[in-house]
Amino acid sequence: MMRQYELVERVRKYNPNVDEDLLNRAYVYAMQAHGAQKRASGDPYFSHPLEVAAILTDLKLDDATIVAAVLHDTIEDTSTTREEIDRLFGPRIGKLVEGLTKIDKLDLVSKQARQGENFRKLLLAVAEDVRVLLVKLADRLHNMRTLHFVPMEKRARIAQETLDIYAPLAARIGMQKLREELEGLAFRHLSPEAYQTIETRLHELRAKNGRNIKRIEEELTHEFSARGIEAAVTGRQKTPYSVWRKMERKSISFEQLSDIFGFRIIVGEVEDCYRALGVAHTKWPSVPGRFKDYISTPKQNDYRSIHTTVVGPGHQRVELQIRTAQMHEIARFGIAAHALYKDATGQEGRDDLAKESRAYRWLQETLELLAHGDSPEEFLEHTRLELFQDQVFCFTPKGGLIALPRGATPIDFAYAVHTKLGNSAVGAKINGRVAPVLSQLQNGDEVEIVRADDHIPPAAWEAAVATGKARAAIRRATREAVRRQYAGLGRQIVERAFARANRAYADDKLKGVLPRLARHSVDDVLAAVGRGEIYSGDVVKAVYPDFSEERKAQQRLPEPGEPGWFDIKASSNLMFKVPGAEQGGAIPIRGLRGDVPVRFAEKGGAVPGDRIVGILTPGEGITIYPIQSPSLTNYDDQPDRWLDVRWDLDEESRELFPARVVATALNEPGTLGALATLIGETGANIDNIGFTAHSPDFREMTFDLEVADLKHLSDIIARLRAHPLVSKVERVVG
């Protein structure tokens, strides 16, 4: 275990002005707080925070970050409080330590919810101080280094979480060295046989090609030196995990890999990068399609370098990475290589770091997802989508550069530009040609989005997009559209309730009683009524406290000609009135695509021409039943849920409605085909078919149909009854 003076000396090597007293006090305090606690390995628990601090000294981090690493488990695993840390070490270090404390004490049933909520808390802390993330990654790295001491049943979960979240997160903030070690350790535990096989093959290649690598290093160095370019050339080998991932992605064998070995060329200035590239391409032929300039177009994690592949000495493919020393530091240490990160604690410091670091800007943009109330599981899902590695670079019509993940679509592009553009997108042009909005984009595509201001993104887009930002925005837009539907329905219900009570309704009156209804806005109240969460009579009583109503059990539904029933003859539309309602006040029903949240009775549906009743179901809207449905008896004692509804269809409407028909027919080959053909010829659609053996000679067939109206359904039933194979046909009303 590292001793007290050793920790101080590690920091002093890169920071001569180290606060020795602060480090010593943190060392002693943490050692006493953790006391006799042990790790799974049997080592004193205090050895873990010390190793985390040691990892961070390799990144040359400031004193406060090192102290936070030493103390990072004290609040979570000991009796230490945030107040005590603030008192002894100051509020800045206290905030760092609290940001690293998990929230396992929350009463969250789902492990994924707990994981998502912990990750949400971590990123919120990172928004205040990016050093929290650096300590967390170092913490995860040491835990992965000692994962073999953890019980077997926990290893796979921790390794998978590392591969899914922490390694990509390290990559997204540019910490390539840390990312590679996390990936390698996770891969070793998740696929030990594959890891060992690839590691063995790589070892054999190193032994076989060692001299050749040295020769290429010397030849490259000589060529650059001869042209006045001072360059450090080093050979490198791909990691086992990167080899495995490439084999999986391209479905190729180990022998087919052509770029296991590569060479890194470190030069002094940016101009030297392009001079070195010219030397390499002049000396050896380049491989087409293998050139990438990440200097002029940096990656989102701030990575800058030139990549090219040439056919070098011995006719071998040689991958070259050309960069400056400063670019190399950022490629290895990412955000930690930026001098500004130490001052990114106030808003001004965070703004300065965001200007310098594209990676930090990404972190800030990811945190925008937190502002929209997504569940922990959704937040985790969105964040995983954002942790992509491979990118495509596309352009706006004005030349703006947009970086997206592989597999991104014009919809992702639109949301990357602006949420409003994504919500209003109805079409796209790629390189000047009209293309589907779900086309996959390629590097260099110019994308123009076609808009419609009143458009609502289809819910199906959520599963087709590639970025978390697009998915979250689509989900919010569709939720808001549904909420507007419920609010519209609620307004109609409330206005009719006030009319029945002979009281005047106005939004201003409702605003004055919002606290009594425990809602923040009029729309919230109306949406709650539409969802069935608030009874309309309670809204009336909130506005007019002297109002009282006697809620009676549901009366027998009236028959034609009796009081309380009448019809309106318009396009064969009928209207049914619940007793006590005012004439002409029924809620119009236009089908599943109307402006009221509607669904139809699960067993049998309802069709225009039926006399219908609406039942309000909390959270689901209105369920429409034919008046003769036996299911309505289930609601006899719930009069508050009965709604007055009517059909209101345009003559031009082509919408189909659900109905169920049961036919008893001869059990012989060809019967089903004959009946299905007959139904199809009427213009109806068969949604589902069920079979029941009636007897050896007969079979009962249940057809779930989509028809235009009652006349259409009656015609189908009549034609089925007239068929020689059919003995009986009945409509089912559930």
The DSSP bridge pattern shows strands 261-267 and 317-324 to be parallel
Cα separation, 323 vs 555, whole angstroms: 83
Report yes or no: 361 and 173 within 8 Å, Cβ to Cβ: no
3-class secondary-structure state, position 472: helix
Q: Which residue has the tokens 């010390």?
A: 50
Cα separation, 137 vs 302, whole angstroms: 18
Which residues have a Cβ under 8 Å from the Cβ of 467 and sit 6 or more positions away? 385, 386, 404, 405, 408, 412, 415, 416
Report yes or no: 706 and 685 within 8 Å, Cβ to Cβ: yes
367-396 b/e with 16+ CB inside 10 Å = b? eebeeeebebebbbbbbbbbbbeebbebbe
Cα separation, 573 vs 586, whole angstroms: 13
Report yes or no: 636 and 681 within 8 Å, Cβ to Cβ: no
Q: What angle do CA 198, 201, 205 make, to 5 degrees?
A: 135
Report yes or no: 437 and 423 within 8 Å, Cβ to Cβ: no
Question: What letter would DSSP give residue 1?
Answer: -
Cα separation, 601 vs 733, whole angstroms: 8
Structure tokens of 87?
């008192």
3-class secondary-structure state, position 669: coil
Report yes or no: 425 and 449 within 8 Å, Cβ to Cβ: yes
Cα dihedral angle (427, 429, 433, 438), rounded to 10 degrees?
Answer: -60
Q: What angle do CA 29, 33, 39 make, to 5 degrees?
A: 120
Report yes or no: 214 and 177 within 8 Å, Cβ to Cβ: no
Report yes or no: 379 and 119 within 8 Å, Cβ to Cβ: yes
Q: Which helix (H) or strand (E) holds 120?
A: helix 111-128
- Our measurement of the distance from residue 299's CA atom to the centroid of its chain's CA atoms, rounded to an integer in Å, reads 22
User: Hey, which residues are catalytic here?
Assistant: 76-77
Q: In the chain, what's the furthest Cα-to-Cα distance? A: 107
Other C-beta atoms lying within 10 Å of the C-beta of residue 599: 14
Cα separation, 116 vs 119, whole angstroms: 5
Cα separation, 435 vs 226, whole angstroms: 51
3-class secondary-structure state, position 227: coil
